[in-house]
């Protein structure tokens, strides 16, 4: 009964409480004005992890005595684990279905039922397999339930939602991509998939996204990126003969070289009259300086034209969608039903500190991650990337993240089949026993020698 009612009740209470509307707005509740939508997405993922773990945490440990008694019958371990897995698969499908059905209905989230269900079901089942591993590895129920918070807390703290990945310890992370420990957490993949899908592929934003992507990319390039590189070029020109500033000049040249190499590789529409790989403090003459300045001017003109073209096309599209008063009202209602301002702030990093940061002689954009395609492969992509790069092909973030979650689930099943956690714990326990045995014998020998000395001394005194 708990398994049947837990998920629907949590969804009902959660969605009802966070169904926010501005009391000063007479139009009533709309998804557009609900500032709690990102919170709903995040809590839904954490609920999936937590409930999935608790449902499966006792499944194997409660059968331990039965399995020992029946060990001589040579029963199939794979069949036993498969029975547990299929049972949990059905329970997780029901729980995730009911959670999405009730939660999305109360919050009036249109069109996204199937996508929400796919992600939460994937997370639920992933947590089931993790729970089976700890149920197989630990020896007592108390130990299992003590370990669950240690599995949940990293999902909350290091998923990139509460604490931005850019604000984690720089010695174990860097701007521009998700740190390796973030990639290990299923909450990171699930929340990103839900946030990107909800923002990018709703009925309102779907028609505007490509225009806004071109506009925002061009805006960042011409107003921030080019300005930083132009300042560095001026500093190089003014200080290249000053020996006291040679280290700073070399650093600026390296940054210039890296950024221009990437730009020339990704933008074939603007041709450069120089080879950035040959830039150095020795051959940085007046001709090189002029060539780079001309290239910057051409880039600025190119991105201004890109911005104006995309803005004109966007205006034409919006005008077409609002050609009559009825269509205009329908378009406004579509935005109210499908678009969310708070989620937009999350995926565009609107309240972040600064637009571009420099790290290890590269410039990393901190704003508009949802409009920026990643330069690197799947595991090195930045958070909220609109699509992921797989070699030379770009794939939708939603489906890439779903595949990653299921690959992690497959890894958990392999670990479960071979008892990896149990073997590791038994190995460390054997090391502890050997250490205690070794030092216990040493202590016993020292005690015996002391007793013999005492006995001999007392005999002599007699």
pLDDT tens across 212-230, in order? 999 999 999 999 999 999 9
Residue 139 lies in a domain: yes
Q: How far apart are CA 225 and CA 364, in angstroms?
A: 9
Residues 432 and 298 in one domain: no
Q: Which of 4-13, 62-71, 294-303, 322-331 has the lowest mean pLDDT?
A: 62-71
Given 338, 371, 388, which residue is the final one in a domain? 338
For residue 174, the model assigns a pLDDT of: 82
Average pLDDT over residues 388-411: 94
pLDDT tens digits for range 352-390: 677 898 988 999 998 999 999 998 888 889 999 999 998
Q: Distances from the Cα of 416 to the Cαs of 19, 73, 132, in angstroms?
A: 40, 21, 7
Q: How confident is the model at residue 243 (pLDDT cuts 50, 70, 90)?
A: confident
CA contacts within 13 A on the Cβ side of 41: 33
Look at residue 454 and tell me whether its pLDDT is greater than 80.
no
190 and 229 part of one domain: no
What does the pLDDT average to over 146-163? Answer: 92
Distances (CA, A) of 346 to 129, 160, 335, 440: 31, 11, 18, 58
The least confident of 108-112, 202-206, 416-420, 435-439 is 435-439
The DSSP line for 6-47 is: HHHHHHHHHHHHT----TT-TT---GGG-TTHHHHHHHHHHH
- For 365, phi then psi, to 5°, come to -75, 130
- Give the gyration radius of the chain's Cα atoms: 30
360 or 312, which is more confident?
A: 312
The count of structural domains within the chain is: 3
At residue 406, the pLDDT reads: 97
Do residues 120 and 398 lie in contact, with contact meaning Cβ atoms separated by under 8 Å? no
Point out the domain boundary residue: 323, 338, 353: 338
User: Would you give the DSSP letter of residue 243?
Assistant: G
Q: Please check whether residue 374 lies inside any domain of the structure.
A: no
Report d(CA 168, CA 177) in Å as an integer.
Answer: 12
3-state helix/strand/coil string of 336-358: HHHCCHHHHHHHHCCCCCCCEEE
Structural domain including 448 reads 423-461
Same domain membership, residue 195 and residue 117: yes
Q: Do 149 and 19 share a structural domain?
A: yes
Co-location of 195 and 210 in the same domain: no
Do both 79 and 48 map to the same domain? yes
Instruction: Measure the CA–CA gap between 31 and 21, rounded to whole angstroms.
Output: 9
444, pLDDT greater than 60: no
**pLDDT of the residue at 311:** 97
- 58, 131: one domain: yes
The whole-number pLDDT of residue 457 equals: 47
Query: Do residue 46 and residue 167 come from a single domain?
Result: yes
């Amino acid at each position: 009964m708990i398994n049947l009612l837990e998920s629907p009740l949590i969804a009902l209470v959660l969605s009802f409480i966070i169904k926010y509307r501005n009391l000063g707005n007479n139009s009533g509740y709309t998804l557009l004005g609900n500032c709690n939508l990102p919170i709903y997405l995040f809590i839904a993922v954490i609920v999936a992890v937590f409930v999935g773990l608790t449902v499966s945490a006792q499944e194997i440990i409660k059968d331990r005595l039965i399995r020992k008694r029946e060990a001589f019958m040579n029963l199939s371990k794979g069949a036993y684990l498969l029975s547990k897995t299929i049972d949990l698969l059905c329970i997780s499908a029901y729980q995730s279905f009911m959670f999405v059905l009730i939660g999305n209905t109360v919050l009036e989230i249109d069109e996204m039922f199937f996508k929400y269900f796919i992600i939460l079901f994937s997370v639920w089942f992933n947590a089931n397999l993790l729970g089976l591993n700890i149920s197989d590895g630990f020896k007592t129920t108390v130990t299992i339930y003590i370990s669950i918070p240690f599995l949940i807390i990293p999902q909350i703290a290091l998923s990139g939602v509460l604490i931005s990945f850019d604000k984690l310890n720089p010695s174990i992370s860097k701007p521009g991509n998700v740190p390796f420990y973030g990639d290990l957490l299923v909450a990171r993949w699930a929340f990103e998939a839900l946030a990107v899908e909800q923002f990018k592929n709703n009925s309102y934003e779907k028609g505007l996204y490509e225009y806004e992507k071109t506009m925002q990319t061009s805006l960042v390039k011409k107003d921030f990126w080019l300005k930083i590189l132009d300042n560095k070029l001026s500093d190089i020109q003014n200080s290249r003969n000053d020996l006291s500033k040679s280290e700073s000049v070399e650093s600026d040249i390296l940054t210039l070289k890296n950024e221009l190499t990437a730009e020339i590789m990704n933008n074939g529409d603007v041709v450069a009259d120089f080879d950035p790989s040959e830039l150095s403090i020795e051959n940085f003459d007046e001709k090189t300086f002029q060539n780079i300045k001309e290239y910057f001017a051409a880039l600025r003109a190119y991105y201004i034209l890109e911005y104006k073209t995309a803005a004109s096309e966007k205006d034409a599209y919006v005008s077409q969608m609002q050609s009559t008063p009825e269509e205009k009202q329908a378009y406004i209602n579509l935005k109210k039903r499908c678009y969310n301002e708070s989620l937009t702030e999350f995926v565009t990093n609107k309240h972040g500190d600064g637009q571009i940061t420099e790290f290890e002689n590269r410039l990393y954009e901190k704003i508009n991650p949802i409009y920026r395609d990643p330069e690197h492969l799947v595991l090195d992509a930045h958070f909220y990337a609109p699509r992921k790069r797989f070699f030379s092909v770009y794939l939708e973030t939603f489906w890439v993240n779903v595949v990653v979650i299921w690959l992690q689930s497959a890894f958990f099943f392999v670990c479960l089949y071979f008892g990896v956690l149990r073997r590791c714990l038994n190995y460390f326990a054997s090391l502890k026993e050997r250490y205690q045995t070794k030092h216990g014998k040493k202590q016993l020998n020292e005690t015996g020698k002391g007793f013999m000395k005492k006995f001999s001394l007392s005999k002599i005194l007699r």
